Structure 1
Amino acid sequence: MNSRKKHITQLLLCFILLIGGTSVAQNIKIKGQVVEENSKQPLAFATVAITDIDSKKPITGTITDDDGKFNVETSASNFHIEVSFMGFISKTITQFEIKNNSINLGLISLAEDAEQLGEVVVQAEVSRNEFKLDKRVFNIGRDISSTGASALEVLSNVPSVSVSIEGAISLRGSEGVQVLINGKPSILTEDSGALGSITSDMIEKIEVITNPSAKYEAEGTTGIINIVIKKEERKGVNGSITLNAGVPDNNSVGLSLNKRSEKFNLFTQIGLGRRSRPQDNININNDLDNGNILYNTGQDYRDEKFYTITLGSDYYINDNNVITISGNYAFEDEDQPSDNNFQLFDENENLESEWNRTEVTEAANPKWQYELQYKRDFEDHDDHDLLISATGRSFSKDQSSLFEDETVSGTNMDREQRTRTDFGENTYTFKLDYTKPFSDKWSMETGAQYVINDVSNDYEVQDLVNGDFETDFGLTNVFEFNQDVLGIYATGAYQSGKWGVKPGLRMEYTNVNTLLVNTDEANSQSYFNLFPSIHTSYKISDAVSIQAGYSNRIYRPRLWDLNPFFNIRNNYNIRQGNPDLQPEYTDSYEITSIFDIGKTALNFGLFHRYTTDVIERVVTSVDNVIVQRPENIGTNSTIGIEFNTKVSPAKWLSFNVDFNYNNFKRVGSYETKVFDFKGDQWNSKILAKFKFPADIDFEATGNYNSKYQTIQFEVDDIAFLDLGLRKKILKGKGVINMSVRDVFNSRINERMTIQDDFEAYTKSMRGRFVTFGFSYGFGKGDAMEYSGGRRR
């Protein structure tokens, strides 16, 4: 049996055993602990199978807990014990001693499988990291400091990923990331705030794909982040409940239920909660032409109640065909009050005027997503399959705001405004993927995807004039955005011995139309692109592997990049879109080496990205009003290094270290100004995990993001610390947690803009978050074997 078939067999065995024990009376108790051979660290979720010696069939089994320990019972008398884990050499135990109907196997050491090609597994006690040919996988479920966190906050603790205080996601220091849920675009990823409806207890793992193959859509110049949601597979009724409470207001409850039978797998997740996200802000606008300085200090809030429910079912037509239908509904009820103080000084630093601006904003945001999927596994090969899916998603926002400016002293600044937003977006995705292995060495993938995106944003601003509200037609319009993308791809793969290669090509046709309805300003673009990719890997020795890859990527301007009408929450710091934006294109190269040195696993990478038509926000100022507008400005060349490692100096202590550094060169101009400059930036994360007696775990995660420069901004550095504590109770079925994010209130975002005619300074901070959580798992697992052994 070759290595790949061996691992698939292990996975099938693991699946059979995960769904429980047998219904036969059991009277021999078997216990032990599974550890890594080199580091002696526990292996959680390893499979322990009790197998009949004659028939070779599994009798019963279990999986190890967080400490690698297991307990299992059997009434059989003619058996041996098999211990296995993906990425490690399985061990069969045939010699053991039975005393008082008990077997104590003690420590069972598993060695890493040196024959695996294209996939190196680095075991981590907190988040098990899997390094594969074209992606890295971070299993989030055991991270303590993620207690009660949203998906956005979980992402901030993933190596190579950074999340700004405004929710902007970057990978290796660059934005332009495509975020997926379960491998597909989701309405929840279009707005970073919407990721708040996904809580950490719903997430199984996060996949980071820095250099995607042609199989993936070409969107996202920096790469792809895929959030995989949990789905239970054990037979019977199983579930879990999670409760969280925190300060500032962060309370939620989540319920996951699953019922599995021979033909159906019914699953649901329900979540509801409320959270408050206060943010302190300081803005200073300095007009160098007339000498006026505007100081703005205040606090913004985003208070929301959220509800989410997912329903779905897998229907197994037979051993080779399965249909899945699922739907998700999420609703956010938002309040966004703000209170800001403004002070305007003249060139002699005399106070001209002071006023307060208050805001009352309410919004209702319903979101729908539904999917129909069909998968066929062909009989001739385990990896020969066809997948067809159709997904629909819808998001709407009904928002109203009232702004009131009240003069405190000096020049009269009294003013009252109100805004109305009626937003709607519908997206439909049709996808086909086909995989065909021709032999153990050769295989191919091919498929197509068609995405339809239809958006309308009706935005109105009104001013109070003589007791009546009148529409400001200069700030009011209906913006329509329609984008269709058709993609077709093919990849081939050759894998033999210590070497493998996977080339691919993707073709995409894009058609974009925007329209400002009130002013009849239309913009249409159509373009056809080829996106090649190639990935390869080579196993130098049992301890050293090298992976390399190239891909060509695109970043298409999104709705808020294009829509010129944004909001007037702070009418002295305005963001707007640009409907004339062109897409960015990036050539991405990287080479990664993975070392297994004794108790330490090291991952070192070198990458280069070259991007054309870079989209940057250009800042202008007129009468102390700062306006940010995205423009296509030149090229960007980035060279960087990446380093990840896990060190375990003791059984009770381990460290995960992540470090990224990149140096960039910008060449470009806008209007008459040249934006040529060089710069660098780096960030690091260190996670320390401590194991204490009485099943208590403690972890501390330190983060540092260096100072860096854009074409006009200089962004200050940030350092912050997160803490987590976990205690298992109720025989391991219950877990209580506590997490503290930003312990020292040090996660402060500061940036400075210095231009010939103006200077602008901004500072914002969210502060400390403390969360307490409890989770409890329940259910049963009855052993279930499938006649064809095809289900996975």
Structure 2
Amino acid sequence: NVGLNDKYGGDFLINYRGTIYTAYMSINYNNWSFSGEGESENRTYNGDTTSYILSRGTSSFRHNPFGLRGGIDLNLSTQNRLSLGGQYSKRSMSRTSNNDHDEWTDPGNIHDIYISQDSSQHSHDFYSLNADYVHHFMPKDHDLSAQVDITRRHSREESWYELVDANNSIFDGQLSSEETPATILRLKFDYTLPFNKNNKFETGYQSRINRSGATYDVYTYDTLVRDYLFNPEYSNTTDYEREIHSLYGLYSGKYGNLGYQGGLRGEYENRKIELIGENAIYPIDHVDYFPTVHVSYQFTGGHQLMASYARRIERARMWWLEPFLTWMDANNVRRGNPALRPENIDSYELGFQTLIGRSSLSIEAYHRITHNKVEQTSILYDDDIILRTVENIGTDYSTGIELMMDLKFLKWWNPNLMLNLYDYRIHGELYEEPIAREDMNWGLRLNNEFKPFENTKIQLNGRYSSPSITAQGERSGFFMTDAAIKQEFFGRRLTATLQVRDLLGSVAHENTTESSDFYSHSSFTRESPVIMLNISYNFNDYKPKRREENNQIEVESIEEY
């Protein structure tokens, strides 16, 4: 694959099928770079005085993922299969930005003009070994499987910022480095017992054990010696331990046109975060239960009515739990919340599906409740400095309807329309202030696939997401269009795909956050359009299963970044 503005990459997969085994190996590398522009306005209030900081500048990003994977599947007998595999990946990411700042207070008319230069580099090494075993009993679909995965990863991050005055002299600066090693072990056992063609029982156990830590060192610029000196006040070492053990049971069956499924999963989590040398330990020890119920009824003519309830969990990201301060730049600091509780989501759904010729229509009404809602928040840390952190703010509610239409009236044109309209409410408390906010949100997605010729596909996709509220402000809406054309040659062995993301350059990210003592607004736009050409060739008529199951042109291959 190759694209404009220094984007390129490639991958290679070889797969060998023997009589009793299948072996594979793959390698991939990509270089993705992006540029962008942004501006921000921060205000802080102190009595009758308001402090302002206006910023505007440019940024550049680079992402270099490399991966190597291999494995072998062994058919030990007609009833036993063993799979062994390994993976190594290395990712490096970098970001640089240059911003012009204008700082002043009101009352007052003295403006402080300066430049900030920021840079960060992040590398991530990942090793993984896995083994899977499956035993097939009689009758068919009576299975026992076991899986073990062990992962070792090591992350390194270095960042710095400098503030430069009109005389090109550094008057403030900071260097920081963070090392984060981690070892993760996962064990999984599953058992399936069919009673007949339509009824079966499933059960299983899973254990996830995580041991990691972080060492964070900070160096502050000293204007007298004109060098960076170690700052023990903001340097820390953290240990992190987490174990999650879960057990589930699920029964599914069918009685006439009525299908049903019911299950329960129990999870025990033990988590401990310790800030070394500070006598600060943050434990969490609790049990959660996650029931699920699903029923469906099949009518004649391709109509189906469905209803379901499920409870699931959303756990915090690792950096959300870090208990120490991390300086993002001279006016923004970040700190995690080691006491953060996971989100529990209750989801109620009622849906109807029908066929209209070759086309399909589905309508779903839903009500979702998120307990212990996690949201990134801001609070005034010091004069002109805003602290970004993460809090459990309370409960949010989403009540809405989702419409999906897959239209196949013409052989050469397949439009797919999705509409989501919902009422969104937040109720809770943040920094001893009550939260009660409500908004009507909606989103629209239209995908068009054209087949003008036998081996040619064209996609034109558009989506819109409306503005939405947060606990302290709002996020702007956005509209985005993507296009792609895919051409196959030589009996579909050679495939060329041209992708264009954000075709109209309409995507912009804006966020507003405010409280009684500060106001913050930021906006950012990334380079557009992003154009990539992907070329693939299959030898010996090899077709990976993942691609056989996905007929869509992959127009979001770099969305991860």
Q: Confirm whether residue 302 of structure 1 aligns to residue 56 of structure 2.
A: no
Greater relative contact order structure (CA < 8 Å, 6+ sep): 1
Q: 2:243 aligns with which of 484, 490, 493?
A: 484
Equivalent position of 2:322 in the other structure: 563
Q: Residues of 1 paired with 2:64 and 2:310: CA distance? A: 41
Change (3 A) 1:493 1:464: same
Partners of 2:523 and 2:399 in 1: CA distance: 29
User: Which residue pairs with 2:551 in the alignment?
Assistant: none
- Offset at 1:300? 2.7
User: Partner residue of 2:555?
Assistant: none
C-alpha distance in structure 1 between counterparts of 2:463 and 2:26, whole Å:
32
Aligned amino acid, residue 145 of structure 2: L
* Structure 1: stretches of 5+ with no match in the other structure: 1-243, 782-792
User: How far is the alpha carbon of 1:574 from its aligned partner?
Assistant: 3.0
Q: Are the equivalent residues in 1 in contact too, given 2:359–2:409 (CA < 8 A)?
A: no
| CA deviations over 1:278-319 (Å, ceiling 9, x no partner) | 232211101233222101222333213221011011000011
Per the alignment, do residues 363 and 631 of structure 1 end up closer, same or farther by CA in structure 2, a change over 3 Å counting? closer
Q: Does 1:364 align with 2:123?
A: yes
CA distance in structure 2 between the aligned counterparts of 1:580 and 1:333, rounded to whole angstroms: 30
Provide the residue aligned with 2:178 in structure 1. 421
Partner secondary structure for residue 301 of structure 1: strand
Report the equivalent of 1:711: 471
Determine which of 404, 426, 436 is the counterpart of 2:162: 404
Once the 2 structures are TM-superposed, how far is the Cα of residue 373 of structure 1 from its aligned partner?
Answer: 0.5
Secondary structure of the equivalent of 2:233? coil
Q: State the one-letter code of the partner of 1:654.
A: N
How far the C-alpha of 1:420 sits from its partner, in A, is: 1.0
The one-character-per-residue Cα deviations of 1:526-580 (angstroms, maximum 9, x if unpaired) are: 1112221111211022321122211122233332221133642323233321112
Question: Residue 596 of structure 1 aligns with which residue?
Answer: 355
Q: 1:49 — aligned with what?
A: none
Residues 772/667 of structure 1: CA separation in 2 closer, same or farther (3 Å cut):
same
**What CA distance in whole angstroms lies between the structure 1 residues aligned with 2:508 and 2:281?**
40
Name 2:553's counterpart in structure 1: none
> Corresponding residue for 2:42?
285
1:90-101 matches, within 5 Å, as none
Q: Is this contact kept in 1: 2:393–2:471, CA < 8 A?
A: no
Gap change, CA 1:716 and 1:513, over 3 Å in 2:
same
**Match in the other structure for 1:658:** 418
Q: Find the counterpart in structure 1 of residue 535 from structure 2.
A: 774
2:548 equivalent in structure 1: none
User: Which segment drifts farther, 720-729 or 748-757?
Assistant: 748-757
Q: Which amino acid aligns with 1:735?
A: T
Alignment map for 1:319-334 (pairs within 5 Å): 319-334=78-93
Map 1:252-263 → 2, pairs under 5 A:
252-263=9-20
State the alpha-carbon separation in 2 of the partners of residues 693 and 448 from structure 1.
Answer: 50
Contact (CA 8 Å) 1:483, 1:510: kept in 2 or not?
yes
CA distance in 2 between counterparts of 1:276 and 1:462 reads 29
CA distance in 2, matches of 1:413, 1:656: 55
Larger mean Cα displacement after TM superposition, 714-723 or 576-585: 576-585
Kindly state the Cα deviation for residue 428 of structure 1 after the two structures are TM-superposed: 0.8
Letter in 2 for 1:558: R
The one of 738, 744, 747 equivalent to 2:498 is 738
1:691 to 451, 459, 462: 451
State the partner residue of 2:365: 606
Give per-residue Cα distances to partners, 1:384-439, cap 9 Å, x unaligned. Answer: 111100011222112323322211279x8712321111111221100000000012
Q: Is the 8 A contact 1:560 1:566 kept in 2?
A: no
2:331 is matched with 572
Question: 1:638-661 CA distances to partner (integer Å, 9 max, x unpaired)?
Answer: 212112111134222120111222
Q: How far apart in 1 are the matches of 2:70 and 2:310?
A: 36
Separation in structure 1 between the aligned mates of residue 332 and residue 221 of structure 2, nearest angstrom? 21
Task: Select between 313-322 and 284-293 the one with higher mean Cα deviation.
Answer: 284-293
C-alpha distance in structure 2 between counterparts of 1:601 and 1:360, whole Å:
50
Residues 297 and 366 of structure 1: CA distance in aligned 2, closer, same or farther (over 3 Å): same
**In structure 2, C-alpha distance between the alignment counterparts of 1:279 and 1:393, rounded to whole Å:** 35
Aligned equivalent of 2:231: 472
CA gap of 1:515–1:765, structure 2 versus 1, over 3 A, is same
Asked whether the equivalents of residues 493 and 541 of structure 2 are also in contact (C-alpha less than 8 Å), the reply is no
Which digits, 9 at most, give the CA deviation of each residue in 1:183-205, with x for residues without a partner?
A: xxxxxxxxxxxxxxxxxxxxxxx
Relative to structure 1, the CA distance from residue 640 to residue 448 in structure 2 (aligned partners, 3 Å threshold; closer, same or farther) is: same
Conserved in 1, the CA contact under 8 Å of 2:296 and 2:306? yes
- For residue 338 of structure 2, give the secondary structure of its aligned residue in structure 1: coil
In percent, how many aligned pairs have the same letter? Answer: 23
Aligned pair in 2 of structure 1 residues 435, 635: CA closer, same or farther (>3 Å)? same
- Work out whether 1:383 is the aligned partner of 2:146: no
- SS of the residue corresponding to residue 779 of structure 1 reads helix
2:282 maps to 1:523: yes
Deviation track 1:451-501 (CA, whole Å, cap 9, x = no partner) reads 001121111111122244322233221122111011011111121321111
Q: Flag as ranges the 4+ runs of structure 1 deviating above 4 A.
A: none
CA distance in 2, matches of 1:467, 1:573: 23
Quote how far apart the aligned CAs of 1:322 are.
0.4
Write the distance in 1 (CA, Å) between the matches of 2:246 and 2:358: 44
CA distance in structure 2 between the aligned counterparts of 1:714 and 1:349, rounded to whole angstroms = 30
Question: What CA distance in whole angstroms lies between the structure 2 residues aligned with 1:260 and 1:704?
Answer: 45
Q: Please say if 1:676 is aligned against 2:433.
A: no
SS of 2:323's partner is coil
Separation of aligned partners in 1, 2:36 and 2:134: 46
Separation (CA, whole Å) in 1 of partners of 2:4 and 2:227: 41
Q: How does 1:213-232 map to 2 (within 5 A)?
A: none
Matched residues in 1 for 2:71 and 2:89: separation? 15
Go from structure 1 to structure 2 and tell me whether the alpha carbon gap of 1:351 and 1:544 turns closer, same or farther (over 3 Å shift): farther
Does the 8 A contact of 2:483 with 2:499 survive in 1? yes
Gaps of 5+ in 2: 543-561
Aligned-partner Cα distance in 1 for 2:326–2:5: 27
Check the 8 A contact 1:746/1:767 in 2, yes or no.
Answer: no
Sort the Cα spacing of 1:300 and 1:520 in 2 relative to 1 into closer, same or farther, 3 A.
Answer: farther
Q: Deviations over 1:176-227 (max 9, x none)?
A: xxxxxxxxxxxxxxxxxxxxxxxxxxxxxxxxxxxxxxxxxxxxxxxxxxxx
Q: CA deviation at 1:717?
A: 1.0
Q: Which residue of 2 aligns with 1:461?
A: 218
Note if 1:636 corresponds to 2:393.
no
Residues 688-747 of structure 1 deviation map (CA, whole Å, 9 limit, x = unaligned): 112224733211110101011011121111001111012222232111111110012211
Shift of 1:265: 0.6
Answering whether residue 510 of structure 2 is matched by residue 753 of structure 1, we say: no
CA distance in 1, matches of 2:376, 2:124: 27
Code of the residue aligned with 2:95 in structure 1: it is Q
Q: Does the Cα contact within 8 Å between 1:747 and 1:767 map onto a contact in 2?
A: no
CA deviation map 1:357-383 (0-9, x unaligned) = 2234333321112210101111x2221
Evaluate the alpha carbon distance shift between residue 582 and residue 306 of structure 1 in structure 2; reply closer, same or farther with a 3 A threshold: closer
CA distance in 1, matches of 2:541, 2:51: 70
The structure-2 alpha-carbon separation of the partners of 1:598 and 1:531, relative to structure 1 and needing over 3 Å to count, comes to same
Looking at structure 1, the residues matched to 68 and 518 of structure 2 have their Cα atoms a distance apart, in angstroms, of 49
* SS of equivalent residue, structure 1 residue 732: coil
Check if 1:270 corresponds to 2:27: yes
Task: State how far apart, in whole Å, the 1-side matches of 2:277 and 2:114 are.
Answer: 34
How far, CA to CA, are the matches of 1:580 and 1:593 in structure 2?
Answer: 41
Contact map agreement 1:481 1:559 (CA 8 A) in 2: no
> Which is worse superposed, 700-709 or 538-547?
538-547
State which of 533, 537, 551 in structure 1 corresponds to 2:292.
Answer: 533
Contact 1:515 1:521 in 2 (8 A): yes
Conserved 8 A contact 1:696-1:727 = yes
Query: What residue identity is the alignment partner of 1:642?
Result: E
